[in-house]
């Protein structure tokens, strides 16, 4: 289940990146389509100096990174709690306590899942906060 | 764009919020394998003692196990408690030929678990030793034929005998030209090299002698219990895979039946000169078996069951049947047989009850076909028999009235039996 979620998050990133690339491609093809032999936009052929590669740390990055770190810590805590509850459940000799421990393990499993999901959202926010086109 | 992205993120979060834990606590009634009850139930019997075992339930606060039992078709009732540190119960002084059923539940400090499935066994005075030539195995089976207690691998075991008093099992290996001596735990303690392939053997526990036939040889070899060749008796026939031997320990006579030579001979070991008599010329089709009660022997033939007296007189029963195997109850002289009627391929198993006159009782008819081996359970009272069914390759156990009480799969048609 976690691997499906991870795969979907990759898809989200891919979709956002691909969308922007397609938009710039459409602009280029519109300008060239008028006369395929003539070089109308010479500036495209001229060497462009590369802009200095610098991370643009901004408010969105801080929020995204913060979400990512906090939810990762929360996820780890919940995971450990779930594991502990399940270990106790496996050797429990009381039906009542057994059910309680199993339910606790399941509840913490769900919380772990949510925390990791939020962590992935934080990751996506962090990655896209570096996008200077916006 | 934004809508799809948000939808995907929500979906992602929903997918994350699941748990795939399984109910693996052995005491948990929701556990799909144990259902909260003890598992790994095993039952075995040795004469009048039954041992019932189960896998320990590994949970905290386990206080004890509660064992229930019944006999026959009665409902289960409480038998006794067993400490949590133990996981077996021994029941002694059980009655023979009665089915005992057992079940167990685990008790913790807080709760009482559900009752396990029940297992059953019929104790009896014997366990069955069995060699399977094609399966390369020696097995010890329960009296009721439902359980395999011990198994070991031996190359091409063609014949089996045992000295129960000294705990020695003799297994003749066809391809290894040897007789292996095994202890009760099926460990080989000694082996005797032979000059040729062994085909059949019999052991006399009174005189501690092993009588052995070898393929292509015109002789009967006699070995001591220690494996030393004591003597060889010349025979008027060449032994092959269809040559069978049976020993009458009372009259000290060895009976040999040869399918190829269509001959039955008797070697008298009470006479120092070892007189060899050609008793009869009949179409032998299977085993020869002795009848210590009546003197003489019984032979499975292509035209019925033949009873031969020590003086050489013989009478034939079930003349319209091809008899595939026979087995004689040494305690009352009854001869059990399996075979089929040549005219319509009708398979039967039955017994020729020995008395003032011999009475034929058919035990299995048409319900079971392709019966190729039979072994009666000895006893003054009828205790039933084992048969081997060729098309299903099952070993079936029936009670004295022909009701099936046990079965085990995966047996070939080339078996040898011994009751220990």
Closest chain A C-alpha to B153 CA, distance in angstroms: 40
For chain A, where are the alpha helices, taking DSSP H only?
2-32, 59-90, 95-129
User: Per the CB < 8 Å rule, is B5 touching A15?
Assistant: yes
Q: With helix as H, strand as E and coil as C, how does chain B read?
A: CHHHHHHHHHHHHHHHCCCCCCCCCCCCCCCCCCCCCCCCCEEEEECCEEEEECCCCCCCCEEEEEEEEEECCCCCEEEEEEECCCCEEEECCCCCCCCEEEEEEEEECCCECCCCCCEEECCCCCCEEEEECCCCEEEEECCCCCCEEEEEECCCEEEEEEECCCCEEEEEECCCCEEEEECCCCCEEEEEECCCCEEEEEEECCCCEEEEEECCCCEEEEEECCCCEEEEEECCCCCCCCEEEEEECCCCEEEEEECCCCEEEEEECCCCCCEEEEEECCCEEEEEEECCCCCCEEEEECCEEEEECCCCCEEEECCCEEEEEEEECCCCCCEEEEEEECCCCEEEEEEEECCCCCEEEEEEECCCCCEEEEEECCCCCCCCEEEEECCCCEEEEECCCCCEEEEECCCCCCEEEEEC
Reported as a pLDDT band with limits 50, 70 and 90, residue A133 is low
Task: Indicate which of A10, A20, A98, A122 best probes the interface with B, i.e. most B CBs within 10 Å of its own CB.
Answer: A98
Give the number of A-B residue pairs with CB atoms closer than 8 Å: 94
Residues of A in CB contact (< 8 Å) with B are 1-2, 4-5, 8-9, 11-12, 15-16, 19, 82, 86, 89-98, 102, 105-106, 109-110, 113-114, 116-118, 120-121, 124
User: Looking at residue A25, what is its pLDDT?
Assistant: 42
Q: What is the pLDDT of residues A50-81, one digit of tens each?
A: 666 666 788 889 999 999 999 999 999 999 99
d(CA B199, CA B217): 10
User: Per the CB < 8 Å rule, is B16 touching A19?
Assistant: no
pLDDT tens for chain B, residues 1 to 420: 565 666 666 666 666 567 789 999 999 999 999 999 999 999 999 999 999 999 999 999 999 999 999 998 899 999 999 999 999 999 999 999 999 999 999 999 999 999 999 999 999 999 999 999 999 999 999 999 999 999 999 999 999 999 999 999 999 999 999 999 999 999 999 999 999 999 999 999 999 999 999 999 999 999 999 999 999 999 999 999 999 999 998 889 999 999 988 999 999 998 888 889 888 888 887 889 998 787 889 999 998 999 998 888 888 999 999 999 999 998 888 999 999 998 888 999 999 998 888 899 999 987 899 999 999 999 888 889 999 999 899 999 999 989 999 999 988 878 999 998
Closest Cβ–Cβ partner in A12, A93, A95 for B5: A12
Q: Where do the structural domains in chain A lie, given as residue ranges?
A: 1-47, 56-134
Closest Cβ–Cβ partner in A15, A92, A106 for B60: A92
User: Looking at residue A26, what is its pLDDT?
Assistant: 46
| Comparison of pLDDT for A16 and B258, the residue scoring more | B258
A80: three-class secondary structure by DSSP: helix
Task: Spell out which residues of chain B touch residue A2, defining contact as CB-CB under 8 Å.
Answer: 16
The residues near B258 (Cβ < 8 Å, ≥ 6 apart) are: B237, B239, B240, B242, B243, B244, B264, B265, B284
Tell me what the pLDDT averaged over chain A comes to: 77
User: Looking at residue B2, what is its pLDDT?
Assistant: 62
User: Per the CB < 8 Å rule, is B15 touching A8?
Assistant: yes
Task: Spell out which residues of chain A touch residue B25, defining contact as CB-CB under 8 Å.
Answer: 89-92, 98
Closest Cβ–Cβ partner in B9, B17, B58 for A113: B17
Task: Spell out which residues of chain A touch residue B65, defining contact as CB-CB under 8 Å.
Answer: none
The residues near B95 (Cβ < 8 Å, ≥ 6 apart) are: B48, B71, B123
Cα dist from B362 to B55, B76, B338, whole Å: 43, 35, 10
User: Looking at residue A21, what is its pLDDT?
Assistant: 44
User: Looking at residue A39, what is its pLDDT?
Assistant: 66
Task: Spell out which residues of chain B touch residue A1, defining contact as CB-CB under 8 Å.
Answer: 15-16, 18, 20
User: Looking at residue B272, what is its pLDDT?
Assistant: 85
Closest Cβ–Cβ partner in B15, B20, B25 for A92: B25
User: Per the CB < 8 Å rule, is A109 touching B21?
Assistant: yes
Closest chain A C-alpha to B77 CA, distance in angstroms: 24
Q: Is the pLDDT of residue A1 over 60?
A: no
User: Per the CB < 8 Å rule, is A94 touching B111?
Assistant: yes
Angle between helices A95-129 and A2-32 (to 10 degrees): 20
For a pLDDT cut of 70, what percent of chain A falls above it? 57
Q: Is the pLDDT of residue A101 over 80?
A: yes
User: Looking at residue A34, what is its pLDDT?
Assistant: 53
Closest Cβ–Cβ partner in A2, A12, A97 for B8: A12
User: Per the CB < 8 Å rule, is B16 touching A114?
Assistant: yes
- For residues A102-124, give the mean pLDDT: 93
User: Looking at residue A20, what is its pLDDT?
Assistant: 45
Closest Cβ–Cβ partner in A19, A93, A109 for B62: A93
d(CA B346, CA B371): 11
User: Per the CB < 8 Å rule, is A91 touching B62?
Assistant: no
User: Looking at residue B275, what is its pLDDT?
Assistant: 87
Alpha carbon A99 to its chain centroid, in Å, reads: 35
Closest chain B C-alpha to A64 CA, distance in angstroms: 14
Closest chain A C-alpha to B89 CA, distance in angstroms: 23
Sheet arrangement for strand B275-280: B243-248, B253-258, B263-268, B275-280
Task: Spell out which residues of chain B touch residue A5, defining contact as CB-CB under 8 Å.
Answer: 12-13, 15-16
User: Per the CB < 8 Å rule, is A94 touching B25?
Assistant: no
Closest chain B C-alpha to A130 CA, distance in angstroms: 18
Angle between helices B2-16 and A95-129 (to 10 degrees): 150
Give me the domains of chain B, ranges plus CATH numbers: 42-121 (2.60.40.10), 126-148+318-420 (2.40.10.500)
Task: Indicate which of B7, B19, B34 best probes the interface with A, i.e. most A CBs within 10 Å of its own CB.
Answer: B19
Burial (CB count <10 Å: 0-12, 13-18, 19+), residue B248? buried
User: Looking at residue A31, what is its pLDDT?
Assistant: 45
| ipTM at complex level | 0.74
Task: Indicate which of B6, B11, B12 best probes the interface with A, i.e. most A CBs within 10 Å of its own CB.
Answer: B12
Hey, what are B204's tokens?
Answer: 């006399």
Closest Cβ–Cβ partner in B1, B18, B20 for A19: B1
User: Per the CB < 8 Å rule, is A89 touching B25?
Assistant: yes
Closest chain B C-alpha to A106 CA, distance in angstroms: 6
Cα dist from B322 to B241, B291, B339, B340, whole Å: 19, 21, 5, 5
User: Looking at residue B65, what is its pLDDT?
Assistant: 97
User: Looking at residue A22, what is its pLDDT?
Assistant: 42
DSSP A91: T
d(CA B29, CA B43): 24
Assess contact for B52 and B67: CB atoms under 8 A. Answer: yes
Closest alpha carbon within chain A to B10: A117
Which residue in B127, B124, B205, B225 sits closest to B165, CA to CA?
B205
Burial (CB count <10 Å: 0-12, 13-18, 19+), residue A27? exposed
User: Looking at residue B293, what is its pLDDT?
Assistant: 80
């Amino acid at each position: 289940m976690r691997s499906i979620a991870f795969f979907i998050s990759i898809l989200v990133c891919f979709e956002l990146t691909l969308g922007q690339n397609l938009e710039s491609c459409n602009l280029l093809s519109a300008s060239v389509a008028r006369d395929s032999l003539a070089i109308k936009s010479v500036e495209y052929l001229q060497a462009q100096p590369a802009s200095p590669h610098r991370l643009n740390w901004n408010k969105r990055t801080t929020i995204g990174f913060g979400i990512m770190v906090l939810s990762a810590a929360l996820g780890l805590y919940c995971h450990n709690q779930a594991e502990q509850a399940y270990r106790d459940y496996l050797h429990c000799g009381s039906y009542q306590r057994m059910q309680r421990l199993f339910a606790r393990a399941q509840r913490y499993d769900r919380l772990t899942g949510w925390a990791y999901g939020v962590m992935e959202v934080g990751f996506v926010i962090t990655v896209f906060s570096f996008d200077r086109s916006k | 764009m934004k809508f799809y992205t948000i939808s995907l993120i929500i979906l992602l979060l929903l997918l994350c919020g699941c748990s795939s834990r399984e109910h693996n606590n052995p005491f948990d009634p929701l556990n799909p394998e144990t259902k909260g009850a003890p598992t790994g139930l095993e039952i075995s019997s040795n004469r009048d003692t039954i041992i019932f075992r189960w896998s320990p339930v590994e949970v905290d606060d386990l206080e004890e196990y509660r064992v229930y039992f019944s006999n026959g078709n009665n409902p289960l009732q409480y038998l006794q408690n067993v400490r949590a540190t133990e996981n077996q119960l021994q029941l002694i002084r059980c009655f023979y030929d009665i089915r005992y059923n057992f079940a167990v539940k685990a008790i913790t400090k807080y709760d009482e678990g559900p009752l396990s499935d029940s297992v059953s066994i019929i104790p009896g005075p014997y366990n069955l030793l069995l060699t399977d030539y094609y399966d390369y195995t020696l097995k010890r089976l329960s009296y009721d034929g439902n359980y395999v207690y011990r198994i070991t691998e031996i190359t091409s075991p063609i014949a089996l005998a045992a000295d129960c008093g000294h705990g020695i099992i003799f297994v003749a290996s066809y391809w290894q030209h040897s007789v292996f001596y095994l202890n009760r735990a099926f460990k080989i303690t000694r082996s005797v090299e032979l000059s040729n392939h062994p085909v059949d053997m019999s052991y006399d526990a009174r005189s501690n002698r092993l009588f052995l036939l070898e393929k292509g040889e015109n002789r009967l070899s006699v070995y001591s219990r220690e494996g030393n060749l004591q003597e060889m008796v010349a025979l008027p026939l060449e032994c092959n895979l269809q040559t069978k031997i049976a020993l009458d320990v009372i009259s000290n006579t060895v009976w040999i039946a040869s399918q190829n030579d269509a001959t039955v001979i008797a070697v008298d070991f009470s006479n120092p000169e070892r007189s060899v008599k050609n008793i009869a010329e009949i179409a032998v089709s299977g085993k020869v078996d002795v009848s210590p009660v009546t003197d003489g022997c019984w032979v499975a033939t292509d035209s019925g069951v033949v009873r031969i007296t020590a003086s050489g007189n013989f009478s034939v029963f079930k003349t319209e049947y091809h008899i595939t195997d026979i087995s004689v109850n040494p305690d009352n002289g009854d001869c059990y047989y399996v075979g089929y009627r040549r005219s319509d391929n009708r398979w039967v198993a039955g017994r020729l009850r020995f008395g003032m006159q011999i009475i034929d009782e058919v035990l299995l008819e048409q319900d079971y076909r392709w019966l190729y081996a039979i072994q009666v359970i000895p006893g003054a009272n009828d205790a039933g028999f084992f048969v081997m069914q060729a098309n299903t390759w099952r070993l079936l156990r029936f009670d004295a009235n022909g009701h099936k009480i046990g079965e085990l799969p995966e047996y070939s048609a080339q078996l040898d039996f011994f009751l220990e």
